[in-house]
Structure 1
Amino acid sequence: MAERRHRGPWSASETEVLARTLLRAPSVHNIQPWLLEFEHDRLLLGERRDLPLPEHDPLGRDRLMSCGAALANLELAIRVLGYEARTVTFPDPERPELVATVEPGERSLPSAEDLHRYAAIERRRSYRKRFSGRPVSPARIGDLTATAAAAGVQARPIRDELELTRVADLLEFAAEAFQHDHGYQRELALWTVHDEMSLRHGAGIAATALPPGSLPWAGLVRARTALPDREVLKRRLADETLLVFLTLDDTRHDHLKAGHALQGTWLDAVDGGLVGSILTQPLHLPEVRSALCEDLELAGFPQALMRFGYPSGAVPASPRRAVDEVLGRGF
Structure 2
Amino acid sequence: MTTSVRPVGPLTADQVESVLIAATSAPSRHNDQPWRFRCTATTIELSAPQATSQETLLACGAALLNLRLAIRALGVYPDVRILPVSGRPQLLAVVRPEGHHAATPDDRLLAQAIPRRRTNRHPAVSVTVPASILNELHAGAEIERAWLATLTPAQLPQLKAIAHRARLAQGEDHTAARDWKSWTGRTVTTIEPRDEWILQNAEHGAMAADETPERPSPLIVVIGSFQDLPADRIQAGQALQRVLLIATTAGLSASFLPQLLQESSTRRELRDLLGGGMWPQTVLRLGHRSPVPASSRKHLDEVTLTDEQPVDPARNGRSPATDADPRLDGPHGEQCGLKLHKGRSS
TM-score (norm 1): 0.80
Which of 99, 104, 115 matches 2:97? 104
Which of 297, 310, 335 matches 1:320? 297
Give the residue type in structure 2 aligned to 1:87.
V
How has the CA–CA distance of structure 1 residues 47 and 7 changed in structure 2, closer, same or farther, with 3 Å as cutoff? closer
- Per the alignment, residue 198 of structure 1 pairs with none
Give the residue type in structure 1 aligned to 2:49.
R
- Per the alignment, residue 267 of structure 1 pairs with 245
Distance in 2, Cα, partners of 1:8 & 1:302: 37
Q: Would the aligned equivalents of 1:24 and 1:121 in 2 still touch at CA under 8 Å?
A: yes
Which string of whole-angstrom CA distances, capped at 9 and with x for unpartnered residues, describes residues 226-263 of structure 1? 9xxxxx98x85x63221111111110011101101000
Q: Would the aligned equivalents of 1:155 and 1:245 in 2 still touch at CA under 8 Å?
A: yes
- Per the alignment, residue 178 of structure 1 pairs with 170
Distance in 2, Cα, partners of 1:184 & 1:289: 15
- Per the alignment, residue 47 of structure 1 pairs with 48
Distance in 2, Cα, partners of 1:304 & 1:271: 20
Are 2:258 and 1:277 aligned?
A: no
Where does the alignment leave 5 or more consecutive residues of structure 1 unmatched?
Answer: 1-5, 53-58, 195-210, 227-231
Aligned-pair distance for 1:280?
Answer: 2.2
Are 2:76 and 1:83 aligned?
A: yes
Where does the alignment leave 5 or more consecutive residues of structure 2 unmatched?
Answer: 1-6, 186-191, 310-321, 323-346
Q: Would the aligned equivalents of 1:83 and 1:107 in 2 still touch at CA under 8 Å?
A: yes
Are 2:133 and 1:152 aligned?
A: no
Greater alpha carbon shift after TM alignment, 62-71 vs 291-300: 291-300
Greater alpha carbon shift after TM alignment, 92-101 vs 259-268: 92-101
Q: 1:1-331 counterparts in 2 under 5 A?
A: 8=9, 10-49=11-50, 60-161=53-154, 163-179=155-171, 181-189=173-181, 192=183, 213-218=194-199, 236=215, 239-311=217-289, 313-329=290-306, 330=309, 331=322
How has the CA–CA distance of structure 1 residues 47 and 168 changed in structure 2, closer, same or farther, with 3 Å as cutoff? same
Give the residue type in structure 2 aligned to 1:261.
A
Distance in 2, Cα, partners of 1:138 & 1:266: 16
Give the residue type in structure 2 aligned to 1:155.
L
Aligned residue-pair number: 290
Q: Would the aligned equivalents of 2:22 and 2:67 in 1 still touch at CA under 8 Å?
A: yes
Aligned-pair distance for 1:294?
Answer: 2.0
Distance in 2, Cα, partners of 1:187 & 1:307: 21
User: 1:284 is paired with a residue of what secondary structure?
Assistant: coil
Q: Would the aligned equivalents of 2:10 and 2:98 in 1 still touch at CA under 8 Å?
A: no
Which string of whole-angstrom CA distances, capped at 9 and with x for unpartnered residues, describes residues 149-208 of structure 1? 1111110110141x1111011112212332454432323455x599xxxxxxxxxxxxxx
Distance in 1, Cα, partners of 2:114 & 2:302: 20
Give the residue type in structure 1 aligned to 2:286.
F
How has the CA–CA distance of structure 1 residues 316 and 304 changed in structure 2, closer, same or farther, with 3 Å as cutoff? same
Distance in 2, Cα, partners of 1:113 & 1:154: 20
- Per the alignment, residue 3 of structure 1 pairs with none
Distance in 2, Cα, partners of 1:149 & 1:302: 14
Distance in 2, Cα, partners of 1:29 & 1:110: 33
Distance in 2, Cα, partners of 1:118 & 1:240: 27
Aligned-pair distance for 1:134?
Answer: 4.7
Give the residue type in structure 1 aligned to 2:229.
T
TM-score (norm 2): 0.77
Runs of 4+ in 1 over 4 A off after TM superposition: 6-9
Distance in 1, Cα, partners of 2:35 & 2:245: 20
How has the CA–CA distance of structure 1 residues 153 and 142 changed in structure 2, closer, same or farther, with 3 Å as cutoff? same
Distance in 1, Cα, partners of 2:80 & 2:11: 17
Distance in 2, Cα, partners of 1:276 & 1:217: 11
Distance in 2, Cα, partners of 1:141 & 1:26: 21
Q: Would the aligned equivalents of 2:224 and 2:281 in 1 still touch at CA under 8 Å?
A: yes
Give the residue type in structure 1 aligned to 2:285.
R
Aligned-pair distance for 1:214?
Answer: 2.6
